[in-house]
C-alpha cells in the first residue's frame, strides 16, 4: 500500500512537471508566430508625481493575447524569448509600439506624458539597440526625452563597458534611464556614480510592508536619500495602500506606481482615467 502511494505520488509529480514542460514547449513554438500575428499589446501603468499630484509618465508592460490561452503575463514568455533569442524582435516591437503611442498623443492632452519601456540585459547586448531606438523616435517624430528605459541592476554585473557605452549613447540622445527593482540585485553602488542614471525604482518587496516593518521603512528612506543626494529621482513600485502612499509623501519620494493608483491598462483606458480624474499635466 505504501508502495502504491509512493508510486502515485511520483506519478503526480512527473505529470505536473510534464504539463509545465509541454506548456513551455508550446509557448516557445507559438512565440515564433506571435509577432507576425500581431498578438502583443502594451499596457500602461501611470506613475503619480507626488509633488504635483499629476501624472506625467507611465510604464509600458507587454501582454501576449494568445489565441487559445488568453492573456499571458510577461514572466511566462520573456525568459523563454531571452533563451531562444526572440527577445530582440519583441524588443523592437516594444520600442516601435511605445513611439507610435507617443506620436498618437502628440497633439492632445497627453502630449506631456513620457513612456518607460523595460529592456532586459539581453536586449542591451545587441549592438544596434541604440540605432533601433533612434530610428523609431525619428520615424514617429517623437523627442527622445519622451522615452525612458528601465533596466535592472544585472547590467552592472556583466559586459559593463559595453553596457555603459550603450547607455551613454542613449543618454546623449536624451532618453532617460531608470534602474528597475532597485535594491534586490547584487551590484555595486559605484555604478550609480559611473552610469548616467536618472531614476531609481525601489523594488516592490521593500514597499509591501513599509508601514509595518521598521527595516523596510529604513531601507526605503535610505534609498530615497541616497538617490536625492546623487541628484536622481525615485519611484516606489507596488504601492497598494493609502498608508504606503502617505509614508512615501512623508519621506519625499518623487513618484508612486502601483495598484492603488491604477493597474496596467490599455492606452485608451489610461487616457480616459487621467482625463476623468483630472490627473493630466496642464502646460
Ligand atoms: P517590472 O518592470 O518590475 O514591472 C512591475 C510589475 O509589477 C508588473 O508586472 C506590474 O504589473 C506589477 N505591479 C505593478 N503595480 C503593482 C502592485 O501594486 N502590486 C503588485 N503585486 N504588482 C504590481 P508584469 O506586467 O507582470 O511584468 C513583470 C515583469 O516583466 C516586469 O517587471 C519586467 O521585468 C518584465 N517586462 C514587462 N514588459 C516587458 C517588456 O516589454 N520587455 C521586457 N524585456 N520585459 C518586460
Ligand atoms: Mg519595469
Ligand atoms: Mg520593477
Ligand atoms: Mg521586475
Enclosing H/E stretch for 199? strand 199-202
Nearest bound ligand to the CA of residue 244: 1
Q: What is the pLDDT of residues 9-54, one digit of tens each?
A: 555 556 788 888 888 888 888 998 999 999 999 999 999 999 999 9
Q: 173 exposed, middle or buried (CB, 10 Å; 0-12, 13-18, 19+)? A: middle
What is the reported pLDDT for 10?
Answer: 54
Query: Would you call 142 helix, strand, or coil by DSSP?
Result: coil
Whose alpha carbon is nearest atom 41 of ligand 1?
62
- List, for the chain, all residue ranges whose pLDDT scores fall below the cut of 50: 1-6
- Cell numbers of 177, please? 534611464
| Nearest to 65, CA basis, from 55, 56, 57, 74 | 74
Which atom of ligand 1 approaches the CA of 240 most closely? Answer: 18
Q: What is the pLDDT of residues 244-274, one digit of tens each?
A: 999 999 999 999 999 999 999 999 999 999 9
Query: Would you call 52 helix, strand, or coil by DSSP?
Result: coil
What is the reported pLDDT for 2?
Answer: 43
Whether 207 and 238 have beta carbons less than 8 Å apart is answered as yes
Residue of 74, 85, 117 with the most ligand 1 atoms within 8 Å of its CB, for mutation:
74
Whose alpha carbon is nearest atom 33 of ligand 1?
118
Give phi and psi for 280, each to the nearest 5.
Answer: -75, 150
Please give the Cα distance from 154 to 160 (Å, whole number): 10
Which atom of ligand 1 approaches the CA of 208 most closely? Answer: 19
Whose alpha carbon is nearest atom 17 of ligand 1?
238
| Pocket of ligand 1, beta carbon within 6 A | 45, 61-62, 73-75, 78, 94, 118-120, 150, 180-181, 238-240, 258-259, 264
Residue of 61, 148, 202 with the most ligand 1 atoms within 8 Å of its CB, for mutation:
61
What is the reported pLDDT for 4?
Answer: 47
Q: Which residues does residue 61 pair with via DSSP β-bridges, in sequence order?
A: 43
Neighbouring CB atoms inside 10 A of 70's CB total 8
Whose alpha carbon is nearest atom 11 of ligand 1?
264
Ligand 4 center–CA 155 separation, angstroms: 14
Q: CA angle 273-179-130, nearest 5°?
A: 90
Which atom of ligand 1 approaches the CA of 45 most closely? Answer: 14
Please give the Cα distance from 236 to 200 (Å, whole number): 8
Q: Model's pTM, two decimal places?
A: 0.93
Which atom of ligand 1 approaches the CA of 117 most closely? Answer: 41
Amino acid at each position: 500500500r505504501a508502495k502504491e502511494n509512493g508510486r502515485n505520488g511520483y506519478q503526480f509529480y512527473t505529470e505536473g512537471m510534464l504539463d509545465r514542460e509541454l506548456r513551455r514547449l508550446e509557448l516557445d513554438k507559438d512565440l515564433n508566430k506571435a509577432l507576425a500575428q500581431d498578438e502583443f499589446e502594451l499596457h500602461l501603468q501611470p506613475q503619480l508625481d507626488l509633488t504635483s499630484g499629476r501624472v506625467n509618465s507611465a510604464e509600458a508592460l507587454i501582454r501576449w493575447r494568445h489565441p487559445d490561452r488568453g492573456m499571458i503575463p510577461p514572466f511566462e514568455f520573456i525568459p523563454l524569448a531571452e533563451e531562444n533569442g526572440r527577445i530582440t524582435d519583441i524588443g523592437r516591437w516594444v520600442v516601435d509600439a511605445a513611439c507610435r503611442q507617443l506620436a498618437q498623443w502628440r497633439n492632445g492632452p497627453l502630449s506631456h506624458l513620457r513612456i518607460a519601456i523595460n529592456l532586459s540585459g539581453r536586449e542591451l547586448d545587441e549592438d544596434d539597440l541604440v540605432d533601433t531606438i533612434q530610428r523609431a523616435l525619428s520615424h514617429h517624430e517623437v523627442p527622445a526625452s519622451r522615452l525612458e528605459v528601465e533596466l535592472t541592476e544585472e547590467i552592472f554585473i556583466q559586459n559593463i563597458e559595453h553596457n555603459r557605452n550603450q547607455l551613454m549613447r542613449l543618454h546623449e540622445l536624451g532618453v532617460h534611464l531608470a534602474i528597475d527593482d532597485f535594491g534586490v540585485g547584487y551590484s555595486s553602488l559605484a555604478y550609480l556614480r559611473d552610469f548616467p542614471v536618472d531614476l531609481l525604482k525601489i523594488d516592490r518587496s521593500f514597499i509591501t510592508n513599509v508601514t509595518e516593518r521598521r527595516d523596510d521603512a529604513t531601507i526605503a528612506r535610505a534609498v530615497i536619500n541616497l538617490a536625492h543626494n546623487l541628484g536622481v529621482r525615485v519611484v516606489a513600485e507596488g504601492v497598494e495602500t493609502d498608508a504606503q502612499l502617505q509614508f512615501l509623501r512623508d519621506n519625499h519620494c518623487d513618484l508612486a506606481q502601483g495598484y492603488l493608483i491604477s493597474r496596467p491598462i490599455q492606452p485608451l483606458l489610461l487616457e480616459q482615467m487621467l482625463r476623468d480624474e483630472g490627473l493630466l499635466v496642464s502646460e
